[in-house]
Structure 1
């Protein structure tokens, strides 16, 4: 396990960005599923996919598959930061959509 890497290194930004994008992509795909249970839990599905990808990358690093010095807890922390950013973005988007839907429902003229 590698502990000597820097917190503010380029690869930490790459880890965070990759996990953010994987989480958003996973959530988008789950949100378009034919299964209602997957659609309701799209953010969780995307986050789980992203965390699994990050864990697999660290396991591969530890096994020496990518020629790195080993798994890094700091890389895992950057992965978590990316997933948290995606979860925040998805929560804000969901809140915005609910607000639009509520305004659309209240602003109409009833003919009944």
Structure 2
């Protein structure tokens, strides 16, 4: 199952990059929807979809659908690491840019009063 499965193999980088990308994509997609529930929980939505995709890939590996040695706990760890990095990046992005934006309504009101 895990013969020759190194921690620093290129395959692990692919797992991290894939889950990072899926989490970012679906989280940002969820923030653009008209449903407030999905916007509010967008990080969770992206993370869960990414985790499901990673688990499905590992299940397919174990069943022999891809040319691999089978499912790997190291691959699953790399998937979770990619998700955590994406959540951290999105959280930092959200916290930085939510503070920088000026209050647009006060500027507009100030211009209309003049």
> What TM-score results when the alignment is normalised by the length of structure 1?
0.89
* Alignment-derived partner of residue 34 in structure 1: 34
In the TM superposition, what is the alpha-carbon distance from 1:40 to its structure 2 partner?
A: 0.9
* Alignment-derived partner of residue 51 in structure 1: 51
In the TM superposition, what is the alpha-carbon distance from 1:3 to its structure 2 partner?
A: 5.3
Instruction: Map 1:1-112 onto structure 2 (within 5 A).
Output: 1-2=1-2, 4-101=4-101, 104-105=102-103
In the TM superposition, what is the alpha-carbon distance from 1:32 to its structure 2 partner?
A: 0.6
Which one has the largest radius of gyration? 2
Unaligned 5+ runs, structure 2? none
Query: What RMSD in Å do the two structures reach over aligned CA positions?
Result: 1.8
Paired residues of 1:26 and 1:45 also in contact (CA < 8 A): yes
Look up the SS of the partner of 1:22 in the other structure.
helix
Paired residues of 2:3 and 2:69 also in contact (CA < 8 A): no
Aligned residues between the structures: 109
